[in-house]
Structure 1
Amino acid sequence: MTGMTDYEKAFITLFNQTARYHHRHKVFEDFVSCSVIALENRLCFSEERERKYLRIAGSYQKPDMNRMAQLLAHVVNGLQAGFCDFLGQAFMQLDLGDKYRGQFFTPWDVSVMMASVLLGDVKTLFKQKTFITLSEPACGAGCMVLAVADTLNQAGYALHRHLWFSATDVDPLAAGMAYIQLSLCGVAGEVVIGNSLMNERRRILYTPAHYFGNWAYRLKAREKGTGSVMI
């Protein structure tokens, strides 16, 4: 995707109007944290998560918490209009990928090209497989997984049946962005906050499609030779 959609422009405009009394990076982190909690608590309510949400909300004026909800609505609408790295692009447009954090996200068009090369002939890929699994050891905001999912979707393969992913990032902010986007796009899998090189898994977030698609059972019962795609 080149350029910015109307939803992304609306997101950035609204974000810049939200909680001007806080540092921009803090507002973005809190927006991501609150959105993750909202998505998780819709699946399985947790008092601990709710307390974290209330702690965050306590540092904002009520109109700004309302704007947080509106920001998430822009993300939902943007992803419904077409798969993209909505949050990764917004993050970079807001100049939040500063050098001291080293956070820079791969452009969507590059990820789509890489996904096409990775998957090759999709019909041939599924001749002897009912589904594929995808491992992304440094997922960022989930752009590469989204690009693979979009490629399968464009080829006519239902994501909830044909793809399961495991995406890891050492940065909780990036992992949270990935969880939001992959959840909203209906992709089944897990987002892991941890270090792939050290096999560290500090926290695991399962997307709604993981539960709805009964993937815990499918992964355990899959026949030998189903195979996986590693990136």
Structure 2
Amino acid sequence: MNIMVDHKKQFISLFNETARYHHRHKVFRDFITLAAASIHNGIYFSDELEREYMETVRQYEAKDAERMAMLLAEVVMGLEAGSGDFLGTLYMQLELGESARGQFFTPFCISRMMAEMQLGDIGSLLADKPFFTVYEPACGSAGMLLAIAEVVREKGFNPDRHLWVSCTDIDPVASGMAYIQLSLKGVPGEIVTGNALSGERRRVMYTPAHWLGNWPYRLKVV
């Protein structure tokens, strides 16, 4: 018997139990910091991210640090189940978005429709080159890029071989969500925390698929 688990509901229930001595915005922000650092340093170690991880986790009791790991597990399982923009949806459901900063995350069904309209015939797109690149200057939690990767996969192509993305967001929580989701979905690319209009790049993080797929070399030779 297959039992369908609502991982978003599980995440919210666990999140509401985690570190009630901190504000909800801080807990979510710190979860993103810890999760992103864990994923990144599992494949490409950064002393800076390790320091941030240790400085963040020491602000939590042991049981809540364990809950942070459990929250990441729910994200992993939710994305494996095909939940679209898992973190972006949760961010809005938890009412953590800042409307004053224009933070409204596009519903994933709209992102899917836009991705299908933009991509068209992927075979012809790849006729003269082995991959194509996509740039998203205000990526939020990377819902649009997740939709593009999903469409590429459904059309019979592997995103880890035929797609490379570059995305930017001024909000480190948003860029952190983008990094986590693109990493867990196996999409190669760079996630920039900075200002796309001014060209500011405060932090650049590359997904595991970027390193594992030898993209530093592939981008140079094309």
The TM-score bracket by the shorter chain reads: over 0.9
2:165 is aligned to 165
1:207 is aligned to 207
- 1:139 positional shift: 0.4
Q: How does 1:1-231 map to 2 (within 5 A)?
A: 6-82=6-82, 84-222=84-222
Which AA in structure 2 matches 1:24? Answer: R
- 1:83 positional shift: 5.4
SS of 2:152's partner is helix
- 1:55 positional shift: 1.4
Task: Give per-residue Cα distances to partners, 1:169-218, cap 9 Å, x unaligned.
Answer: 11111000000000000000000111111111111100000011111111
- 1:101 positional shift: 4.3
Segments of 4+ moved more than 4 angstroms: none
Number of aligned residue pairs: give it.
218
SS of 2:40's partner is helix
SS of 2:197's partner is helix
In 2, Cα distance between the equivalents of 1:48 and 1:206?
Answer: 15
In 2, Cα distance between the equivalents of 1:49 and 1:161?
Answer: 27
Task: Give per-residue Cα distances to partners, 1:126-181, cap 9 Å, x unaligned.
Answer: 22231100000110000011100000011110111100000011111100000000
Which AA in structure 2 matches 1:26? Answer: K
In 1, Cα distance between the equivalents of 2:36 and 2:164?
Answer: 20
The answer for unaligned runs of 5 or more in structure 2 is none
SS of 1:190's partner is strand
SS of 1:193's partner is strand
Identity percentage of aligned residues: 56
SS of 1:197's partner is coil
Which AA in structure 2 matches 1:28? Answer: F
- 1:104 positional shift: 1.6
Task: Give per-residue Cα distances to partners, 1:208-230, cap 9 Å, x unaligned.
Answer: 000111111111101xxxxxxxx
1:229 is aligned to none
SS of 1:161's partner is helix
The answer for unaligned runs of 5 or more in structure 1 is 223-231
* RMSD over equivalenced CA pairs, Å: 1.3
SS of 1:109's partner is helix
1:83 and 1:185 in contact (8 A); partners too? no
SS of 1:141's partner is coil
Question: TM-score normalised to the size of structure 2?
Answer: 0.94
